[in-house]
Amino acid sequence: MSEERDTTDFGYQQVPAAEKPRLVGQVFHSVAGRYDLMNDLMSLGVHRIWKRFTVDLAALRPGEEVLDVAGGTGDLAERMVGRVAPQGQVILSDINPAMLEAGRERLVDAGIVANMAYVLADAEHLPFRDRSMDCVTIGFGLRNCTDKSAALRSMYRVLRPGGRLLVLEFSRPRVPGLSPAYDLYSFTALPLLGRIVARDAASYRYLAESIRMHPDQETLKAMMEGAGFERCEYFNLSGGIAAVHRGYRL
């Protein structure tokens, strides 16, 4: 089922659906230069463990073609490229030019040149052939899509039969008592860090709000199934603060 409608959420605000890509673009243009530093500070480095777990679940093999959607500064791509080398390739894509350039510069500076490509792309309208990818990943990007169902269908379309999708995203805490502490941290510490480090408290208020507006684990699993994915499952991380969903095109 499509999410198409006249308005959509931008954090807790309702905005015209056509405006959300521009508003999200402003957020990431603002924070691109300090995005990695903020991730480390916000999660105390735990996001690195989540991303390693996601790449392990992808079970990549040499020679595979991998698309990292909304890949930003290339954290997932950096972990995946060595697993598909020497014949395979990882395509880092993002809708935001500043984030994509930050990712390209970061990987080149790390000496990662071979087996990488970079494409400016909208997750909801991926510019790739049908059935051309062995694996698609999206880390902390799905919640920023205007139409999440359209993005899932687009990712399904480009997967080959037997291919798999990995969605790493913030989710709903499942440990009793964790939600109040997590909410307090999200709505006080995150904007404060954003103001001090990235000089942008508003973008990190949006982050906290967008997490609460994102579908919970079971809802996202159902959305993946609705897009055509089979054998869908999810794995809670850090008590459900984040989760990895995996599904296959069979």
- Whether the CA torsion 32, 121, 17, 209 is positive or negative: it is negative
Residue entry with tokens 């499509």: 2
Give the Cα-Cα-Cα angle 30, 34, 40 (nearest 5 degrees): 135
- Say how many C-beta atoms besides its own lie within 10 A of residue 144's C-beta: 26
Q: Indicate whether 13 pLDDT > 60.
A: yes
74 phi and psi angles, rounded to 5 deg: 85, 20
Q: Which of 212, 218, 214 has its CA nearest to residue 236?
A: 218
Q: In this structure, what token pair is assigned to residue 225?
A: 């199934």
Looking at 3.60.21.10, 3.90.230.10, 3.40.50.150, 1.10.10.10, the CATH number of the domain 30-248 comes to: 3.40.50.150
Output DSSP code: residue 12.
T
Beta bridge partners of 117: 91
Is 245 within 8 Å of 166 (Cβ atoms)? yes
Residue 145 has pLDDT above 90, yes or no: yes
Tokens of 22: 């521009």
Q: What is the pLDDT of residues 169-192, one digit of tens each?
A: 999 999 999 999 999 999 999 999
Q: Please determine, for residue 5, whether its predicted confidence score (pLDDT) is greater than 70.
A: no
- Other CB atoms within a 10 A radius of the CB of residue 91 amount to 21
Contact between residue 243 and residue 234 where contact means Cβ atoms under 8 Å apart: yes
At 223, is the secondary structure helix, strand, or coil? Answer: helix
For residues 37 and 20, what is the distance between their CA atoms, to the nearest angstrom? 25
In this prediction, residue 34 carries a pLDDT of 87
Rounded Cα distance between 201 and 207, Å, is 10
pLDDT for position 4:
52
pLDDT higher than threshold 50 for residue 113: yes
Residues 217-228: tens digit of each pLDDT: 999 999 999 999
- In this model, does residue 3 exceed pLDDT 80? no
Vertex 73 angle, CA 98 and 245, to 5°:
120
Per the listing, tokens 């350039």 go with 101
**DSSP for residue 123:** G
